[in-house]
Amino acid sequence: MIEIDTSLIQNMAESGKRIDSRQFSQYRNITIETNAVTSAEGSSRVRIGNTEVLAGIKMEPGTPFSDTPDEGVLMVGAELVPLASPEFEPGPPGEEAVELSRVVDRAIRESKCVDFNKLCIKEGEKVWMVFVDIDVLNDDGNLFDACGIAAISALLNSTIPELDSEGKIISGRKGPEKIPIKGIPLSTTIVKINDRLMVDPNSAETRAMDARLTIGTADKDGKTVLCSMQKGGESGITEEDVDAALELAIEKSNEVRELIKENA
């Protein structure tokens, strides 16, 4: 992998240009392939430019949390495969993988798009545990958005397993019922480089950024609403930048939602 000098990225941003000739508000090409893993309850392989991730959904009956006895449980995990980037190392999840899974989880959870009450099997005793496992296959920047798209695309095409009379999953049989989801929560990542805001940073732009905002939005009742936000980078960001980033996030997330619906 050829590493591009960060000063080049910064100078280009100052003159209104990007290294790959995109507009500041333009995503790289996005492709979504659902049902990529037949053994999972649902799955999705997503590419944003050269960034590639795979999300799979597994479900099993489990014990609910004591404070939510009638709600199912969602757990998101991300693995940064060492082959995906020279910066990824084998071993237990590091800070980057933990942050990645938390940001994806928060956008989905805080959007309230998943009806967890309908994932209750028997109140106080048994609920559906929904595991979202994400593997990063190639990292060329903007993993937050790629993983968020893969996670919700996989959830949308997942079916709840059938149980036998003893409450055990019937192996090899897909149930007819979908996970109850209303709306599409998404993360939109915007970086600031030399006072310029740009969406979908590639790996070179990520290294050159001053600050980063990953904004979670969801569509509800015909409106796009804010549900989460994560700040990154060493520099601060102004109130005006936040307002501009929110407008960008709403615009771009709605475009991506249409793409997800086309592939649902």
Distances from the Cα of 16 to the Cα of 23, 77, 222, 225, 241, angstroms: 9, 37, 34, 30, 16
**Is CATH 3.90.180.10 the classification given to domain 6-263?**
no
The residue type found at 3 is E
- 5-57 pLDDT, tens digit per residue, is 889 999 999 999 999 999 999 999 999 999 989 889 999 999 999 999 999 99
Phi/psi of residue 33, nearest 5 degrees: -120, 110
Name which of 197, 2, 174 is nearest 86 in CA terms.
Answer: 2
- 235-251 pLDDT, tens digit per residue, is 989 999 999 999 999 99
| % of the chain beyond a pLDDT of 70 | 95
What's residue 57's pLDDT?
Answer: 97
Domain boundaries, the chain: 6-263
| % of the chain beyond a pLDDT of 90 | 80
Instruction: Answer yes or no: is pLDDT of 212 > 60.
Output: yes
Name the E strands within 64-158: 73-80, 120-122, 126-138
Q: The whole model's pTM is what?
A: 0.94
Looking at every residue in the chain, the average pLDDT score rounds to 92
What's residue 226's pLDDT?
Answer: 95
What's residue 166's pLDDT?
Answer: 81
What's residue 165's pLDDT?
Answer: 82
